[in-house]
Chains A and B, each alone.
Chain A
């Protein structure tokens, strides 16, 4: 019996499990942003740009995991 597709699916899901870290990072960053804006509302416009950039970085690391999963399913 050909088990490759099942094993591929298991491999890909283990790879995607590491996106927990990326979502935690985004949550922590946004939380700190809200906290600091609540302390000092004037800083909001300066901090918003940096927040979006930091979210982009955190998102990118999560997408590295997605790349590996896609590689496992479609190429290997």
Chain B
């Protein structure tokens, strides 16, 4: 029998695994930080093992690493031009961290760190502050002409500048919520269909075939969405950096 009330949000609860108190600050290891550490270790192992034997004609692991690097390099250079070459490590880190976190969340029984708004907002905020710093470094105070597109009658300029400013500062929020909502909605959907399968199976086992087949399809969709959302976050970061580096 389906036990108790159906609560799809229980899977997103963060609880402490190891209590650590650093000078009065709460630095305990929660299930979210454990999965973040685990995904970082997975990325490191993947790329270190892939590059262990460097041959001219790559084997499978090395070819995977090379394809990922080429992908990120094409993405950055096509968005920001050749001036963006120094940004490749940052974009690579963002992409692989988000993709690995999203994908590891699809393992049954695991926890998706990127479904927490806190993590995504931290990433969005650091990306936008980085964009502002890069813009100020390259152009000094002329960076603020980004908000005033030229070719406008002078009467409209204050209003358009205000709107542009608001939409600029909405960027960390949209980046964060896009990722968090996609991950959370996907996992809630999976939970709902699993609940249907369990409820039908408690009546008669063969009735659970239909929800299980739908579950299979949804899992594949979630795998696509996991990598796609990482790609969208990355490409939006590149677009914002392009805005800052090459004004207009």
Bitwise interface map of B from 169 to 185 toward A, beta carbon under 8 Å scored 1, else 0: 00000100110111011
Whether the pair A53, B232 counts as a contact (CB closer than 8 A) is yes
**For the complex, is B97 an interface residue (Cβ under 8 Å from A)?**
no
Whether the pair A63, B228 counts as a contact (CB closer than 8 A) is no
Partner of B229, one of A56, A64, A70, A74: A56
Residues of A with C-beta under 8 A to B177: 60, 63-64, 67
Please measure, in the bound complex, the distance between the C-alpha atom of A35 and the C-alpha atom of B177, giving whole angstroms.
32
Residues of B with C-beta under 8 A to A33: none
Give residues of chain B (168-209) contacting chain A, Cβ–Cβ below 8 Å: 174, 177-178, 180-182, 184-185, 188
Chain B nearest Cβ from A47, distance in angstroms: 16
Whether the pair A74, B232 counts as a contact (CB closer than 8 A) is no
Whether the pair A67, B181 counts as a contact (CB closer than 8 A) is yes
Bitwise interface map of A from 44 to 76 toward B, beta carbon under 8 Å scored 1, else 0: 000000001100110110011011001000100
Whether the pair A60, B182 counts as a contact (CB closer than 8 A) is yes
Once A70-B9, A74-B9 are accepted as A-B contacts, the answer to whether A63 and B181 lie under 8 Å apart by CB is yes
Residues of B with C-beta under 8 A to A66: 181, 185
Chain A nearest Cβ from B219, distance in angstroms: 17
A-B contact count (CB 8 A): 35
Q: Which of B181, B182, B228 neighbours the largest number of chain A CB atoms within 10 Å of its CB?
A: B181
Give residues of chain A (3-21) contacting chain B, Cβ–Cβ below 8 Å: none
Residues of B with C-beta under 8 A to A70: 9, 184, 188
Please measure, in the bound complex, the distance between the C-alpha atom of A73 and the C-alpha atom of B34, giving whole angstroms.
29
Residues of A with C-beta under 8 A to B235: 53
**For the complex, is B144 an interface residue (Cβ under 8 Å from A)?**
no
Please measure, in the bound complex, the distance between the C-alpha atom of A66 and the C-alpha atom of B188, giving whole angstroms.
11
**For the complex, is B231 an interface residue (Cβ under 8 Å from A)?**
yes
Bitwise interface map of B from 27 to 68 toward A, beta carbon under 8 Å scored 1, else 0: 000000000000000000000000000000000000000000
Chain B nearest Cβ from A61, distance in angstroms: 8
Residues of A with C-beta under 8 A to B180: 67
Whether the pair A63, B178 counts as a contact (CB closer than 8 A) is yes
Once A53-B231, A67-B177 are accepted as A-B contacts, the answer to whether A59 and B9 lie under 8 Å apart by CB is no
Chain B nearest Cβ from A56, distance in angstroms: 5
Chain B nearest Cβ from A15, distance in angstroms: 13
Residues of A with C-beta under 8 A to B9: 70, 74
12 contacts between A and B (CB under 8 A): A53-B228, A56-B229, A56-B232, A60-B182, A63-B181, A63-B182, A64-B181, A66-B181, A66-B185, A67-B177, A67-B184, A70-B9
- B residues at A contact (CB < 8 Å): 9, 174, 177-178, 180-182, 184-185, 188, 228-229, 231-232, 235
- With A52-B228, A60-B181, A60-B182 given, can you name 20 additional A-B contacts, CB distance below 8 Å? A53-B228, A53-B232, A53-B235, A56-B228, A56-B229, A56-B232, A59-B182, A60-B232, A63-B177, A63-B178, A63-B182, A63-B185, A64-B177, A64-B181, A66-B181, A66-B185, A67-B177, A67-B180, A67-B181, A67-B184
> Would you list the 5 A-B pairs with minimal beta carbon distance, nearest first?
A63-B181, A60-B178, A67-B181, A56-B232, A74-B9
